[in-house]
Amino acid sequence: MDDTKVFLQERIERINNYQHNKTLKERADHFLLESLKEKYSYNFDWLGLPIIQYPQDIVALQEIIWMTKPDLIIETGIARGGSLILYASLLEMIHNNGVVVGIDVDIRRHNRERIINHPLFHRIRLIENSSIEEDTLAAVRNIAEGKTRIMVSLDSNHTHEHVVKELQLYSPFVSKGCYCVVFDTIIEKMEAGSFHDRPWGKGNNPQTAIEQFLRNNRNFSIDNEIEAKLLITAAPGGYLVRHQ
C-alpha cells in the first residue's frame, strides 16, 4: 500500500479506537462542558473577525467545504461575521462564483461595517431579518437561483421551535452530498438552568429539533464520523448530510 493510503487507514483505525478509550472521552467531555461555562468559543478570530466556534468545529467545516465544494453557503446567525468570513475564504479558493449569504435578525452597525470592509466581502450577501420570515426566504431563493451545490449552516435562535422551522425551510436548499450543519446541539448535554437569559435549554434546543426533523425526513442522516474524530464539538449530532 502506498504511504497516503497507509496514513488514511491508520487514521481511521485510530479514530475507531477512541470509542474504547473511556478516559479520553471523559476528559474531552469534561473540557467541553467546563469551557462552555467560560465562553471559550468566543476567544477566536477568522481572518480578523470574531468567530464564535470551537476550533475543532472550524476544522470540520473546512474539511466539509473542501470535500463537498459548495457554490452557495447559507448561514443563519452571523453575529460578528467571523463564520461568514470563514465560509467566504474557503469559497474564494474553490470557485470563482462561490457566495455565502448571511442572515441575521440584528446586524449591528459596527459589525456590518467590518464585514463590508473585509477583503472577502465580494463573496458575501447580507440579509438583516429573521431567518424564518417569508421575505428572507424569497431573497435566499433569488440568490440560490442557478447554484448547484448548496450547503446550510444553522446558528441563530437555538430554541426547538425555531430550529425545527429553520430545518423545514432550509433543508430543501441542501444539495445531495452536501451538509446542513446545526450548531449548539451541545445545549442538550449542559446542566439544566445553564441559560438564565435565553429561551433555550435542556429539552428545548437544536438537538431536540434535529430529533424531530429526522423522524419525518429520510433525506438526511447524521455524519457521526465527524464527532468521533473531533471529540470536542459544540455540534454533536449536528453534522447532517443529505444523501437523497
Ligand X SMILES: C[S@@+](CC[C@H](N)C(=O)[O-])C[C@H]1O[C@@H](n2cnc3c(N)ncnc32)[C@H](O)[C@@H]1O
Which residues lie near ligand X (CB under 6 A)? 51-53, 76-79, 82-83, 103-106, 130-131, 155-157
Q: Is 97 helix (H, G, I), strand (E, B) or coil?
A: coil
CB 8 to ligand X: min, Å: 29
Cα dist from 118 to 25, 164, 224, whole Å: 39, 33, 34
Cα four-point dihedral sign 197, 201, 204, 205: positive
Report the residue number, 103 or 167, with the smaller CB distance to ligand X. 103
Report the residue number, 183 or 220, with the smaller CB distance to ligand X. 183
Identify the CA nearest to 158 among candidates 102, 117, 197.
197
Report the residue number, 136 or 208, with the smaller CB distance to ligand X. 136
CB 157 to ligand X: min, Å: 4
Report the residue number, 15 or 59, with the smaller CB distance to ligand X. 59
Interatomic CA distance for residues 76 and 8, integer angstroms: 34
CB 161 to ligand X: min, Å: 11
CB 90 to ligand X: min, Å: 14
Query: Is there a contact between 34 and 112 (Cβ–Cβ < 8 Å)?
Result: no
Q: Is 218 helix (H, G, I), strand (E, B) or coil?
A: coil
Report the residue number, 159 or 208, with the smaller CB distance to ligand X. 159
CB 103 to ligand X: min, Å: 5
Report the residue number, 103 or 115, with the smaller CB distance to ligand X. 103
Q: Is 46 helix (H, G, I), strand (E, B) or coil?
A: strand
Q: Is 15 helix (H, G, I), strand (E, B) or coil?
A: helix
Three-state secondary structure of 183-210 = CCHHHHHCCCCCCCCCCCECCECHHHHH
Q: Which residues are paired to 181 by β-bridges?
A: 153, 239
Extract the C-alpha cell encoding 48: 480578523
CB 102 to ligand X: min, Å: 8
